[in-house]
Amino acid sequence: MRAPITVRDIKVITTQPAGSRLVIVKVITSEPGLYGLGCATFTQRPYPVIAAIEKHIRPFMLGRDVARIEETWQMAMVHGYWRNGPVLNNAISGVDMALWDIKGKQAGMPVYQLFGGKCREAASVYTHADGRDPQEIEDAVRKFMTEGYRYVRVQMGGYGGRGSQALRPDGAPEGAYYDPRSYMRATLRMLERVRSGVGEDVELLHDIHERLSPSDAVQFAKEVEPIKLFFLEDALAPEDIRWCARIREQCATPLAMGELFNNPHEWQPLITDRLIDFVRMHVSQMGGLTPARHVAAFANMFGVRTAWHGPGDVSPIGHAANLHLDLWAPNFGIQEWCRFPALIYEMFPGMPEVRNGYMYANDGPGLGIDIDEKLAAQFPLVDEVEWWTQTRLPDGSPARP
């Protein structure tokens, strides 16, 4: 019997080519030339993830059989005793995705084939339209429609709108101020204007980004019901998920939640009680492809669809992993897409391509994507204190970003 292929080394690759700080894991095997790549990106806190990989996950993984993905994931999750936090989940995710990449390369087939094969040829995606006023947003939506997009998320002035600086008390600290009630009124008018202007041939989405109180979120979900959104995203914070039942009781607005979730107890009740329509976890934040695959199958039994988190702070490796889930899952709903610049395609050969509103895999083995490490090294991480997450209400009190 041939000796198993094992983990010889684990390398962390960091780069920041387009704003977000990206953390990539490279698992190098005992088989010459065979390696896998995974995403461990926690862009607001990359350094503890790097330390967790280098100081804890790497020693734990050395010499392990690369074929035993499920066992490795289960053991890695409990090995630190405390579990289900964003730092260790991302560290484990990087290895988990890389092991699936390796298994696909060994089999000579894409990862989605290992899951059970395609349910569709490509994944429908949505992109983001932002603007200073409703007309600017409507123009952006029309532009995306001419490019073939049929799903567009619309925001006005970023999450929660911008401004409210004039309303703050004397002596209040600096920060990213916003006024929740003003945001509700302005956004409702914007959504009504955009829907009236572009018609119903395009699906509109909107992200509250957990910035409303639960009662205001219930009210807002009711008010936007006539606009027939494809979904309303993150109406509530993870701490407030029991309020989902109140929204369900009062309106039919489709709900999507999950990008801040780390713990299965956050998404399980929302699925089993059918309180949301889409799960949209950040796949590296929940621990990688292994748990995401389980959640997709679990959600399918309850009629809940997938809409995995896919902004610029999901690395291209993470986007490739999302796509393999999308192509396989019978309950796929939609995929978020951030429209990377050309540099990313050069840095990550094999990056999935979007054409006419659909994302296509290249059908290479594994995840089908690689990284040019020399090019990535030209864009080192920039140390900075995040500004947009220092959000404040009009009176200066801290608020959820």
152: left (phi over 0), alpha (psi -120 to 50) or beta: beta
Alpha-carbon span 142 to 365, nearest angstrom? 37
Report pLDDT for 275: 98
Residue 271 confidence (pLDDT) above 90: yes
Please name every residue paired with 278 in a beta bridge, in sequence order, or none if there are none: 256, 305
- Domains detected in the chain: 114-365 (3.20.20.120)
Alpha-carbon span 295 to 271, nearest angstrom? 9
Across the range 212-232, mean pLDDT stands at 98
Identify which has the larger pLDDT, 230 or 400.
230
Residue 387 confidence (pLDDT) above 80: yes
CB of 38 closer than 8 Å to CB of 48: no
CB of 191 closer than 8 Å to CB of 227: yes
In this predicted model, what pLDDT tens digit does every residue of 134-191 receive, in sequence order?
A: 999 999 999 999 999 999 999 998 888 776 666 788 889 988 889 999 999 999 999 9
Encoded amino acid at 376, one letter = A
Alpha-carbon span 125 to 171, nearest angstrom? 45
- SS3 of residue 87 by DSSP: helix
Share of the chain above pLDDT 90, in %: 91
Token pair of 369 as six digits = 């994507």
Across the range 35-64, mean pLDDT stands at 98
Those residues with Cβ within 8 angstroms of residue 244's Cβ, 6 or more apart along the chain or in another chain:
235, 236, 255, 257, 270, 275, 276
Token pair of 225 as six digits = 């019901």
In this predicted model, what pLDDT tens digit does every residue of 327-378 receive, in sequence order?
A: 999 999 999 999 999 999 999 999 999 999 999 999 999 999 999 999 999 9
The DSSP annotation for 1-36 comes to -PPPPBEEEEEEEEE-SSSS-EEEEEEEESSTT-EE
Identify which has the larger pLDDT, 267 or 2.
267
Alpha-carbon span 108 to 259, nearest angstrom? 32
In this predicted model, what pLDDT tens digit does every residue of 296-339 receive, in sequence order?
A: 999 999 999 999 999 999 999 999 999 999 999 999 999 999 99
In this predicted model, what pLDDT tens digit does every residue of 88-107 receive, in sequence order?
A: 999 999 999 999 999 999 99
Encoded amino acid at 117, one letter = G
Token pair of 387 as six digits = 């500004």
Report pLDDT for 167: 76
The DSSP annotation for 98-164 comes to HHHHHHHHHHTSBHHHHHT--SSSSEEEEEEEEESSHHHHHHHHHHHHHTT--EEEEEESSTT-S--
Report pLDDT for 161: 77
CB of 361 closer than 8 Å to CB of 352: yes
Encoded amino acid at 274, one letter = R
258: left (phi over 0), alpha (psi -120 to 50) or beta: left
Residue 290 confidence (pLDDT) above 70: yes
Report pLDDT for 192: 98
Report pLDDT for 278: 98
- Count of H-run helices and E-run strands, the chain: 14, 15
Report pLDDT for 165: 64
Residues labelled as active-site residues? 159, 209
Task: Give the closest residue to 347 by CA, choosing from 366, 319, 369.
Answer: 369
Q: In the β-sheet with 22-29, what is the strand arrangement from edge to edge?
A: 7-15, 22-29, 35-39
The DSSP annotation for 139-152 comes to HHHHHHHHTT--EE
Report pLDDT for 323: 98
Report pLDDT for 164: 62
